[in-house]
Chain A
Amino acid sequence: MLAQNSAYQPDPNWRVPQDAAMKPNPLARKPDAAAGGKKLFLRNCTECHGQDGSGLVKKHAADLQLPVVQNQSDGTLFWKITNGNPDRGMPSFSKLPEPQRWQLVLFIRKLKPEN
């Protein structure tokens, strides 16, 4: 049974430039780096997305387990973490070093339900 934030509606205006969407994760061959991503997620993201990423804590926060999120490319997720969507409540996390934002992408992939 998936935790679902039924109130979540993706923002159609939150568009990622194509070159950004195509960026590969430089940490893709370092799966151990996801542990640091989990630490960063718990510190920075759970307030809105919840500990399991389901987004139930704040009604507009994305359910990161959903296919609509998991099917986005690594570059897309990285761009969204970097830029945020300030008019819809998602802050920019450009203050985090670039490798740490890629670590968050690694960890978000681990939120995908196995089934």
Chain B
Amino acid sequence: MRLTYIALFAFSLFASVTLQAQESPYFVTYDHHLEEPGNLEIETSSTVGVPRAGQHWFFAPYLELEYGVTGRWTSELYLEGQSTAGDSTIFTGWRIENRFRPLAREHWINPVLYLEYENINEASRIRKEIVGAAPELNESNAELRATRAHELETRLILSSTAHDWNISENFIVEKNLSENEGFEFGYALAVARPLATLASGKNCRFCRENFIAGVELYGGLGTTQGFGLHDTAHYAAPAISWQISDNTSLRFSPAIGLTHGSSPALLRLGYSYEIRGFSTKLARLFGAKP
């Protein structure tokens, strides 16, 4: 079964389509850059969980559709699932995310407001955010999928650019609307920089300018019933993105668990394709004047 998951992971490395330009390497942290208005980005990502003793490998893929509604508003739809070794493969839910940039110009620190509604079940494993206490990973999918969670997640995203370094901080608050269990808190911090800042005159796939490298640090901060670091999960995650072509990119991040409540590692892979001028193309398809 372990070989099956290794094969699936290797397959996910190659089974991607071309995607977007200059994609950030982050998987959990958000910076202040939004999708260009009218553009649609399609991304397939996956999280592979390395187990502790008594736990099982899991593979959690998700599809992301990101659309630039306006210059200051980006909206995303997520569809997710997971497959656990020795258990089953299930659909775990969907999410709708919105990011709003309140300030029109670039500033020393750029704030972005984030609001996401999650309609998922307790078997979700994509780990798009780490909040609250460390999760239990011993229950079966059949038990977990029976428990639905309607959650609201908000973030304060703060992001800066200095000497071509991006420095981003996210403060996360999540509330399960289905349960009376208080608020859950988390954080995500990241820095990243392109490997080269001057563009060459040639089209080249492996130029250093096509790579952005960084590192993320993210984890849970407990709940209103027990705030702090006790029994929480935290990860340090180097990350790299590679712009393969004008509108496609690949990114990878091996996250290392730092606490007993963390998985030993989370292996993340993402592959995206950007359709520029999607709204214009769609309008023309239906005969409307764009």
* A contact set with B: CB distance below 8 Å: 32-33, 35-40, 42-44, 47, 58, 82-92, 94-100, 103
B37-A91 in contact (CB<8A): yes
A100-B198 in contact (CB<8A): yes
Which listed residue (A36, A39, A47, A83) contacts B277, Cβ 8 A? Answer: A47
Closest residue on chain A to residue B197 by CB atoms: A97
Size category of the B interface is: 20 to 34
B33-A95 in contact (CB<8A): yes
Contact string, B189-233, partner A, CB cutoff 8 A, digits 1/0?
Answer: 000001001111111000001000000000000000000000000
**Complex interface: chain A residues within 8 A of B164 (CB):** 97-99
A94-B72 in contact (CB<8A): no
A1 to chain B, nearest CB (A): 26
Which listed residue (B24, B36, B71, B199) contacts A39, Cβ 8 A? Answer: B199
Of the candidates A90, A95, A96, the one having the most CB atoms from chain B within 10 angstroms of its own CB is: A95
B71-A36 in contact (CB<8A): no
Report the bound CA distance from A89 to B38 in whole Å: 9
The verdict on B122 contacting chain A, using a C-beta distance below 8 Å, is: no
A43-B37 in contact (CB<8A): no
Which listed residue (A38, A47, A83, A86) contacts B201, Cβ 8 A? Answer: A38
B246-A43 in contact (CB<8A): yes
Of the candidates A32, A38, A85, A86, the one having the most CB atoms from chain B within 10 angstroms of its own CB is: A86
